[in-house]
Amino acid sequence: MDIETVVSEPAKLGESPMWSAVEQKLYWVDIDGRALHRFDPSTGQDESWPMPEEIGCIATRTDNRVLLGLRNGFANFNPTTGELIRLLDPEADKPDNRFNDGTTDAKGRFWGGTMRMGAPAEKPEGAFYRLDADLGCHRMIDGFWTTNGLAFSPDGRTLYLSDSNAKVRTIWAFDYDLDAGVPSNRRVFVDTRDMAGRPDGGACDADGCYWMAGIGGGELVRFTPTGKVDRTIKVPVRNPTKIAFGGRALDVIHVTSLQRAGDPPDPLAGRLIAITGAGVTGMAIPPFAG
């Protein structure tokens, strides 16, 4: 197994890596740096586009545009022209909230979670939303401090999500009605309070195992579908934020990370990392169907 830094310029808050099978490139974001990035493994080049506000999550589209989850709602972005078209803002009444984590289900619906920025809220103000192909937006699950961990099982019938807040640090699983886009039977999948890291971004591999970026713990953790720890990979950053499987065989694990003021020295903090030779294959994430 080989672990290397593939983008040396550090992000302030690297997040939301998303592999484009069509382009064979990795999109990812710098939330606090307000930028969308696109990394080309074949050349080692990383492009970026400034955003008008914090950008939390993304999805690829079939028309080569990118769906964005911004501080002020959803937008489409065209990397070729630089055109950004705003779509809708489900939390226009909450100016201190922004989108954080997101992914698509097997039907191409986009799931995105929100969280409060800045000073801690007095109560959990984040929620998970489902954006349909017709741009119908539905508030699905309430009561979260820091929405994270969104991923779907290979058959699309299990939804995973988490709250990485230090008071919660729990991953849940749901049965997922793929036809209706509705989760049910919420249950604790993993309580991470006895683990080194808190549950940040999540992903599922082709074997149906769930991967957690253990923020604060410097590790990636693979869980079996029953929630048992199967494998741990130490990474050279204290705060990995999310993983995405990429490469033509979906066997490269890309890891984003963040810098945190006041932390002990962490020389590679904020870099984009690639892990090869792990012996694991990921799942292709469907593009947004809208």
Sequence ranges of the binding site for substrate: 98, 100
Q: Which of 169, 225, 224 is nearest to 197 (CA)?
A: 169
Q: Which of 286, 273, 276, 222 is nearest to 251 (CA)?
A: 276
- The annotation places the binding site at 15, 98, 100, 148, 200
Q: What angle do CA 14, 242, 208 make, to 5 degrees?
A: 160
111 vs 106: CA distance, rounded Å: 11
CB atoms within 10 A of CB 198: 24
Q: Which of 155, 133, 138, 16 is nearest to 63 (CA)?
A: 133
Q: Which of 12, 79, 18 is nearest to 254 (CA)?
A: 18
Q: How far is CA 135 from the centre of its chain?
A: 21
- The annotation places the binding site for a divalent metal cation at 15, 148, 200
What 8-state DSSP symbol labels residue 72? T
272-276 and 2-7 strand pairing = antiparallel
User: For residue 202, what is the enclosing H or E element?
Assistant: strand 198-204
The catalytic residues are 200
- Sheet containing strand 219-223, edge to edge, reads 198-204, 210-215, 219-223, 229-234
Q: Which residues pair with 29 in a beta bridge?
A: 15, 36
30 vs 56: CA distance, rounded Å: 8
